[in-house]
Structure 1
Amino acid sequence: MLDQLILFVASLAANFFSALSGGGAGLIQFPMLIFLGLPFGVALATHKVASVALGLGATLRHLKESHLERRFAAVILAAGLPGVVLGAVTILQIPERAATLALGLLTLGLGVYSVFKPRLGLAHEPRNREGVALVGGAAGLFVVGFLNGSITSGTGLFLTIWLIRYFGLDYTRAVAYTLILCGLIWNGTGALVLGVIGTVAWDWMPALLAGSLLGGYLGSHLAIRKGNLWIKRAFETVTILIGLKLILG
């Protein structure tokens, strides 16, 4: 019972901040699973399955606002899902420390970049939706999808910043796309692949799913109420903390 309570509280906190900032649930949830005794591969598959509930909780809240454009959402899915599958298939072949260090440096860079771009993501200015520019954006989505399928901590943050920087979304819309498409569909695909080729700790799932679902809903609710500037600050805080944690180990 104590382990289940720890799982629930940690999952609730991790997914609350993830829904608020547009990614980063793995900062708490994935290391916690390893700390409580799961091997790396089992913890990875278990975290991926649990993270689908974050997407479901966030979807329940964000769909009330109806910010998503169906055509653009289809582009994100079509470009990113092949990368997710490829990343999930190859992750167990990549040296863990090298991948973690690289991800930490990139994530820290995202936060610092946002800090020094004070207007980034505060206005909705759609761009790069046609022709060659759209192809370039799709290539970036494929790379982000690969990271999402392979690495666990904070990869939703990469999708959030790509949607803002390249496609001109504001933070509120970018986080909505990330949590619904990445959190629910990308993570669901990665969870399916890892569930087939790996092992999931199903007896840990009830507490993890409950924490993820509730945290995703509550974090999304607060993000919608507070608006772009508040989400931007949360994004910067989470990315810098995740980056430092991954680098320092």
Structure 2
Amino acid sequence: MGFVDQLVLFIASFTANWFSALSGGGAGLIQFPMLIFLGLPFGVALATHKVASVALGLGATVRHFRESHLERRFSLIILGAGLPGVVLGAGTILKIPPSYAQFALGVLTLALGLYSVFKPRLGMEHSPRNREGRALLGGMVGLFVVGFLNGSITSGTGLFLTMWLIHHFGLDYKRAVAYTLVLCGLVWNGTGALVLGLLGTIAWSWMPALLAGSLIGGYLGSHYALKKGNLWIKRAFEIVTILIGLKLIIG
């Protein structure tokens, strides 16, 4: 790739991952379509985007670990329930025409944003719940479903995890975004990238700009989110989900 193409990739990746780190997901809104627009086939763009998104998780992890918001037991629950879904989703998506799920995913994503808009206190306070028994089992089923979406569909699936952690487990936006960026961004996406890399093709020559944009954008977006607090993160979440939902619906 030429210098201009690498610069375009860096700007798109930085912008996408800055917003994603601030809102708890949504990097695929800009980054994944940009790869297709610049000439990569769907399967190659999917695998390439998934690898680059690991850098978002790495950049966010560096920043969020300084705040120590992550609980070890709850982190293991998220990983244990979600990773099988990620592997299954990543192994399935390359066999299914992507257009079938796009409209439904757009409606669901748009609904997330509107739900948050009409629930002013949602995610404003940290009140952990549903950590034991049947309630925990139901939460783990939800994490598996979100993991499957993360492995199979690229645009905005981290937002589903953020909302599930808030709605079912009672986290505030700041903590939910931290779990999403570190566990989904780094571990879930890393697993999905490995599976897609083994089954598909990765455009390694596109990686320098994508990785730099993801890493820097992830770190700076996380830093800004931690400084501004729950209300700013909530508003960013609502804007990103509504934009992603409309984009997927319109096509």
The counterpart of 2:190, out of the listed 188, 192, 213, is 188
Q: Which amino acid aligns with 2:78?
A: I
Q: Which runs of 4+ in 1 moved over 6 A?
A: none
Q: Where does residue 214 of structure 1 map in the other structure? A: 216
Identity percentage over the alignment? 81
**C-alpha distance in 2 between matches for 1:97 and 1:114:** 27
1:153 is the counterpart of 2:163? no
Query: Where do residues 1-249 of structure 1 align in structure 2 (5 Å cutoff)?
Result: 1-249=3-251
Q: CA deviation at 1:93?
A: 2.1
**C-alpha distance in 2 between matches for 1:28 and 1:219:** 15
RMSD: 0.4
1:82-140 C-alpha deviation (Å, 9 max, x unpaired): 00000000002222112111111110000000000000000000000001110000000
The 3-state SS of whatever aligns with 1:93 is: coil
**C-alpha distance in 2 between matches for 1:13 and 1:199:** 25
1:33-87 C-alpha deviation (Å, 9 max, x unpaired): 0000000000000000000000000000000000000000000000000000000
**C-alpha distance in 1 between matches for 2:238 and 2:121:** 13
Q: CA deviation at 1:26?
A: 0.1
Q: Could you state the TM-score of these two structures normalised by the residue count of structure 1?
A: 1.00
The 3-state SS of whatever aligns with 1:55 is: helix
Aligned residue pairs, count: 249
The 3-state SS of whatever aligns with 1:38 is: coil
Q: CA deviation at 1:165?
A: 0.2
**C-alpha distance in 2 between matches for 1:240 and 1:93:** 28
Q: Which amino acid aligns with 2:133?
A: G
**C-alpha distance in 2 between matches for 1:75 and 1:31:** 32
Q: Could you state the TM-score of these two structures normalised by the residue count of structure 2?
A: 0.99
